[in-house]
Amino acid sequence: MKKTALLILLFTGIFFSASAQQNPVSWSFSAKKTGDKTYEIHMVATIQNKWHLYSQSQPDDAIAIPTAFTFNPNPLFTVEGKVKEIGKLEKYTDKTLGVSANQYSKTVTFVQTIKMKGNVKTSVTGNVEYQTCDDEKCLPPKTVNFKVALN
């Protein structure tokens, strides 16, 4: 009986360990009103230790898939400018493969400015596509949908 219980605990631990490795980035999305009819959409990536999330901008020799945001059209607002990155950008170079990448560890905040066309309530919807790697492997790109209320 004790052996069975030990095996169950072992397999449960392996399952949760494998699951955690398959999702090393968690996202949170929020809106901040910055002026009359102006909002910032904050998209925060929290990255597990030893994992990296790639910047939207990559060097020419990079093989990493850059993080990309898509905002669904909405007639009630316009998306102003490009998504800004706030975090400690790391410039990584793999001497063996001769490639480089712009990446983040631990956390990075992406910020998009939204201008409302009127005083109305609506939501910003879209998705983020990203890839993560550690020192040994890269996971396939993932897409996360988001919805942020503008009040």
Q: Would you write out the chain's pLDDT as a tens digit for each of its 151 residues?
A: 433 333 333 333 333 444 444 789 999 999 999 999 999 999 999 999 999 999 999 998 888 899 999 999 999 999 999 999 999 999 998 888 888 999 999 999 999 999 999 999 999 999 999 999 998 899 999 999 999 999 8
Complete domains list, the chain, with CATH:
25-150 (2.60.40.1250)
Q: What was the pLDDT predicted at 29?
A: 98
What φ, ψ does residue 17 adopt, rounded to 5°?
-65, -45
Give the Cα separation of 143 and 65 in Å (integer): 12
Give the Cα separation of 79 and 73 in Å (integer): 9
Q: What was the pLDDT predicted at 87?
A: 98
Q: DSSP letter string over the chain?
A: -HHHHHHHHHHHHHHHHHHHHH--EEEEEEEEEEETTEEEEEEEEEE-TT-EEE-S---TT--SPPPEEEE---TTEEEEEEEEEES--EEEEETTTTEEEEEE-SEEEEEEEEEESSS--EEEEEEEEE-EE-SS-BPPPEEEEEEEEE-
pTM for the model: 0.84
**Measured over all CA atoms, what is the biggest interatomic distance in the chain, rounded to whole angstroms?**
67
Contact between residue 64 and residue 111 where contact means Cβ atoms under 8 Å apart:
no
Tallying the residues shown for the chain, one arrives at 151
Q: What was the pLDDT predicted at 22?
A: 77
Q: What was the pLDDT predicted at 14?
A: 38
Q: What was the pLDDT predicted at 149?
A: 97
